[in-house]
Amino acid sequence: MSIQVSSIVITSIFAPTKAVKKFASFNRYKLVVVGDKKSPAHWQEDNVTYLSVAAQEAAGFRISQKLPFNHYGRKMVGYLHAIREGAQIIIDTDDDNIPYDDWEFPAMEGEFAVSPTNRGFVNIYKNFTSHHIWPRGYPLDLILDPGHNLNEKDLAIETVRIGIWQGLADSDPDVDAIYRLIDNTEVFFDKRMPVVLAEGTLCPFNSQNTAVRRELFPLLYLPAYVTFRFTDILRGLVAQPIMWAHGYCLGFTEASVLQERNPHDYLKDFESEIPCYLHPSRVIAAVTCAISAGNTVSENLRRAYAELAKENIVTAQEVELLDLWLTDLAELTK
């Protein structure tokens, strides 16, 4: 059974790509594309709400006071627009992820194969392929450790509430620059049922094929004052302990998009990913100690970033931008 998704949000600096055109053909979704200063001046595509820089500024969101231009975080204006338009589910994806014809996400509640609890970081890719591959943001010291792979026999069918679904991507999946520099084998993942991670068991996830339910919309916040390749990874690390505190799980599905990746300089990616290599465990520890089940999701997010600032993982500027995001959200949902 598929979920009823209200909005898909993409940011792009290109004319409508093959992926954007395919998403626009799915009439059961509202597609929002967020432009930037590098985007074509006369961007146009049927069945798409396009937010130019001028439209973003006119939307009146407080986050525009501090949100950088020429940055992936411009996507947050698209999230706010979708929320203003009544979105119940927001799907995050990119302009180089071409959806398959049967692209969809599972239901947000139901019976799924669930991992054991408290396993720490696991390499979810190993449940979808035998190739030696790992997701961007996965701790480097665990890459050769099979003890951090989930054993299929340990998965149990349970009824759970999903907070966020991460769909995988075929051909050029989301991996780090180290994988691309030393291997870079094209990978098509196995077809299989979803895998859900229980509390205390986690894996990095991205913003490339990702569905988020309304109760967790605050967790869509994309940090804008960290390196580009750390932005969505940090978001995903912060989100997982907060999801557990509120009774939600993270789930992974088989690949439902084909990535035809926009051009990248792998050495520049490596430099941008250094925080991904250094900080995953520190982020989880900081967030876990800062949050409480008695707080709202927004309160926990604010506490998490305040703690990350104390740890010098983010700056005071990040916390200031987060406060604007939370203010915008509060006004849209009151």
Q: Containing H/E element for 168? A: strand 156-170
Cβ neighbours around 188 below 10 Å, total: 14
* Percent over 70 (pLDDT), the chain: 99
84 exposed, middle or buried (CB, 10 Å; 0-12, 13-18, 19+)?
Answer: middle
Average of pLDDT values for 63-76?
Answer: 95
- pLDDT (tens digit, 9 = 90+) per residue, 194-213? 999 999 999 999 999 999 99
Total Cβ atoms within 10 A of residue 217:
22
Place of tokens 């010291």: 141
Single-letter amino acid code for the residue at 137: G
Q: Are 198 and 99 in contact (CB under 8 A)?
A: no
Q: Cβ atoms within 10 A of the Cβ of 43, count?
A: 18
Predicted pLDDT of residue 65: 92
Residue 306 identity (one-letter amino acid):
A
- Can you give the pLDDT at residue 3? 46
The CA distance from 159 to 63, in Å, is 37
Query: Burial of 278 by CB count in 10 Å (0-12 exposed, 13-18 middle, 19+ buried)?
Result: middle
How much is the mean pLDDT over the chain? 96
Name the residue type at position 91.
Answer: I
The predicted model gives 24-38 an average pLDDT of: 96
Measured between its terminal Cα atoms, the distance across the chain in Å is 31
Separation between Cα atoms, residue 164 and residue 211, nearest integer Å:
6
Structure tokens at 38: 């590098």
Residue for token digits 């990095």?
Answer: 204
pLDDT at 48: 98
State the pLDDT at residue 5. 57
Place of tokens 């620059």: 177
Distance, in Å, from the CA atom of 81 to the CA atom of 332, rounded to the nearest integer, reads: 10
DSSP codes joined into one string, 232-248: HHHHHHHHHHHHHHTT-
